[in-house]
Amino acid sequence: MFKYESLKYDSLADLVAIAEKIDMPLSSVVLQEQAETAETTTDAMYQKMAYALEIMRDSVKDGLDPDKRSASGLTGGDAYKMMQPVKEGKNICGKVFGEALTKALAVSETNASMGRIVAAPTAGSCGILPAAILTIAEDRNIPDHDVIMALFTASAVGMVIANNASIAGAEGGCQAECGAASAMAAAAVVEMCGGTPQMCVNACAIALKNILGLVCDPVAGLVEIPCIKRNAAGVGNALVAAEMALAGIESAIPADEVIMAMKKVGDAMSSALKETAEGGLAATPTGKKLCQKVFGCCQ
Amino acid sequence: MMLQVFDIIGPVMIGPSSSHTAGAVRIGKYARSILGSEPVSAHICFSGSFAKTYKGHGTDKAIIAGILGMETDDPRIRISMDIAKEKGLEFTFEERDIDGAHPNTAEITLTDYAGKTALVQGCSIGGGNIIITKINDTVVSINGKSDTLVIPHQDIPGMIAVVTKILAEKGVNVHGFSLCRDHKGGTAVMTIEIDGDINESVTGAILENPHIFSCTILKAI
């Protein structure tokens, strides 16, 4: 029996090494270690993750309502709009991509309209992971078991990012939230599609590289503009990274070094660009006007 | 702190933000449990950043949901105001800055059918975590993560010993304790945070003392 005590989630390379040594997917390593650490059974852990998947599915459905609006009234209905051309087979990038965008918008709009979501890793970035895994699972008829297991792989990526950089917009900008979610989703998709542990980590590295430096600049401080559309962009990025990794493309910069770079970029970012609603899109004339509209004064 | 998978994939929550929804639900829920009965009216005062942003974040709906006793992941939070009207709970909101309060502070006054009232002030400090800062006239600091006893009593010598002796006899471990009073010889309030569950036999024994006005168990939320 392999001992998992040494696993600290501070290195994706270490995780890959363990998985390769015992010839198991990343998700099995993570599930075993987490159950041991929490002194519970793997089945209890698995069931809890199965519940998260169920809530994710519900949060997609809830977000497809054309009439649902956010509490502020600023957003809503975009997932429904996105779904129309996809249903008719008219969207330009094909069914899988169109459905992924629809789902990401749906979950994100569910969040903005006070619906129930699973933070993954945060509420602001909650659309990316469900959109990626549910779209690919449906398209390729992947059984729920594999999807649930892939969520453990996604969690491991999230834990390493949280431990070595950040998953909070206020600390690292949007790269920490939508970037982390995108990297988690990319790794999960690769595992679901039969990729190796190293390919999962390559996908994580590629996804993070593509979103490095993205600022967190929510209009009026609300988790709506631009967050909802950035969830759509985030799932697009996750699929881009997963496609490349599954094709055998490697990341020139190893994932662990990309995460270190992400940390340094986040630290170097001005606080105006880290969730304070003082910079970026929040500080545009229209951003300020929308803030005025919701709150009667500019924050 | 060691992270777990469910810190990354989770919590299951009602959006849009943990501090403005989950935290607000918990403050409302705490106020309800301090009242200890079904409220028929609620007056909510939002201070600081809560006052400026509560409408956009749905903090008002979240706090009403908590007063109605809902959990932080209850999908009915977004329609809590309609449910309140159905249940005959009247509510009003006020925007007023409370001196020295945390930016995300709410002060809730609840009244039940018999006319009993409770005033509870709390703040949402991020990630769904809260601190209850005031109960009626008493300054407290309760995070709601463990069961807490709130015991108003007459400000006379020996009251702490009376209560802690009973807790010791019942095998209850205390991990947090605070005491405040309005004025010398007036009403003082003990708040005692304990490990594990606490049962009614403890409150029964505490209430036998004539100088103790009441003894409420606030369950962890």
Beta partners for residue B112, in sequence order:
B39
- Chain B partners within 8 Å of A299 (Cβ): 52-53
Whether B157 and B130 map to the same domain: the answer is: no
Which of B52, B57, B62 comes nearest A297 by C-beta?
B52
Quote the pLDDT of residue A296. Answer: 81
Please state the φ and ψ torsions of residue B44, each to the nearest 5 degrees: -115, 125
Strand order in the sheet with B129-135: B90-95, B39-47, B104-112, B117-126, B129-135, B138-142
Domain holding A230, by residue range, is: 24-295
Quote the pLDDT of residue B221. Answer: 82
Instruction: State how far the Cα of A239 lies from the Cα of A198, in Å rounded to an integer.
Output: 17
Q: Do A199 and A252 contact (CB within 8 A), yes or no?
A: no
B2 domain-assigned: no
Q: Is B55 exposed, middle or buried (0-12, 13-18, 19+ CB in 10 A)?
A: middle
Using the predicted structure, report yes or no on whether residue B181 has a pLDDT greater than 90.
Answer: no
A175 domain-assigned: yes
A142 domain-assigned: yes
Tokens 């969207």 appear where? A91
ipTM higher than the 0.90 cut: yes
A232 domain-assigned: yes
A10 domain-assigned: no
Whether B129 and B162 map to the same domain: the answer is: no
Look up the CATH number of the domain holding residue B128.
3.30.1330.90
B141 domain-assigned: no
- Determine, for residues B6 and A221 on separate chains, whether the beta-carbon distance falls below 8 Å: no
Distance in Å, alpha carbon of A88 to nearest chain B alpha carbon: 31
Whether B160 and B119 map to the same domain: the answer is: no
Q: Do A179 and A158 contact (CB within 8 A), yes or no?
A: no
Q: Residue A4: name the closest of A123, A156, A146, A126 by CA.
A: A156
Whether B37 and B120 map to the same domain: the answer is: yes
Mutate to test the interface with B, among A42, A114, A276, A295 (most CBs of B within 10 A): A114
Kindly state whether A118 is in contact with chain B, defined as any CB-CB distance less than 8 angstroms: yes
B196 domain-assigned: yes
Whether B114 and B25 map to the same domain: the answer is: yes
Which of A110, A116, A151 comes nearest B73 by C-beta?
A116
- Decide which of B78, B108, B136 is a domain's last residue: B136
B184 domain-assigned: yes
Interface of B with A (CB under 8 A): 2-18, 21, 52-53, 55-58, 61-62, 73, 75, 77-78
User: What total number of domains does chain A contain?
Assistant: 1
Whether B129 and B154 map to the same domain: the answer is: no
Which residue would you say has higher pLDDT here, A196 or B144?
A196
Whether B126 and B174 map to the same domain: the answer is: no
- Determine, for residues A30 and B5 on separate chains, whether the beta-carbon distance falls below 8 Å: yes
Which of A71, A129, A154 comes nearest B58 by C-beta?
A71
Averages of pLDDT over runs of 10 residues in chain A (299 residues) are: 75 97 97 92 97 98 95 95 98 98 98 95 96 98 98 97 93 95 98 98 98 96 96 98 98 98 96 91 96 79
DSSP 8-state class, residue A249: P
B68 domain-assigned: yes
B142 domain-assigned: no
- Decide which of B78, B102, B136 is a domain's last residue: B136
Tens-place pLDDT, residues B196-212: 888 888 999 999 999 99
Look up the CATH number of the domain holding residue B201.
3.30.70.260
Tens-place pLDDT, residues B43-97: 999 998 888 888 888 999 999 999 999 999 999 999 999 999 999 999 999 999 9
Burial code of B124-162, b = ≥16 C-beta within 10 A, e = fewer?
Answer: beeebbbbbbbbbebebebbbebbbbbbbbebeeebeeb
- B-proximal residues of A, 201-240, CB under 8 Å: 220-224
Whether B168 and B127 map to the same domain: the answer is: no
B143 domain-assigned: no
Chain-centroid distance of CA B24 in Å reads: 11
Instruction: State how far the Cα of A180 lies from the Cα of A167, in Å rounded to an integer.
Output: 7
Whether B128 and B152 map to the same domain: the answer is: no
The amino acid present at A68, given as its one-letter code, is: K
A235 domain-assigned: yes
- Chain A partners within 8 Å of B7 (Cβ): 159, 162
Which of A49, A116, A163 comes nearest B14 by C-beta?
A116
Instruction: State how far the Cα of A60 lies from the Cα of A138, in Å rounded to an integer.
Output: 13
B71 domain-assigned: yes
Domain holding B74, by residue range, is: 12-136
Whether B132 and B152 map to the same domain: the answer is: no
Supply angle C-alpha A214, A219, A221, rounded to 5: 95
A79 domain-assigned: yes
User: What total number of domains does chain B contain?
Assistant: 2
- Chain A partners within 8 Å of B72 (Cβ): none
DSSP notation for chain B: ----HHHHS--EEESS-IIIIIHHHHHHHHHHHHH-S-EEEEEEEEEHHHHHHHHHHTHHHHHHHHHTT--TT-GGGGGHHHHHHHTT-EEEEEE-PPTT--SEEEEEEEEETTS-EEEEEEEEEETTEEEEEEETTEEEEE-SSS-EEEEEEE--TTHHHHHHHHHHHTTPPEEEEEEEESSTTSEEEEEEEESS---HHHHHHHHTSTTB---EEE---
Whether B79 and B179 map to the same domain: the answer is: no
Whether B170 and B84 map to the same domain: the answer is: no
Q: Which residue of A has its CA nearest to B73?
A: A116
- Chain A partners within 8 Å of B3 (Cβ): 9, 159, 162-163
Kindly state whether A136 is in contact with chain B, defined as any CB-CB distance less than 8 angstroms: no
> How high does pLDDT run on average in chain B?
91
A2 domain-assigned: no
Q: Do A18 and A7 contact (CB within 8 A), yes or no?
A: yes
Quote the pLDDT of residue B61. Answer: 95
Kindly state whether A107 is in contact with chain B, defined as any CB-CB distance less than 8 angstroms: no
Look up the CATH number of the domain holding residue A78.
1.10.4100
Distance in Å, alpha carbon of A140 to nearest chain B alpha carbon: 23
- Chain A partners within 8 Å of B5 (Cβ): 30, 34, 45, 49, 151-152, 155-156, 159
A1 domain-assigned: no
Kindly state whether A60 is in contact with chain B, defined as any CB-CB distance less than 8 angstroms: no
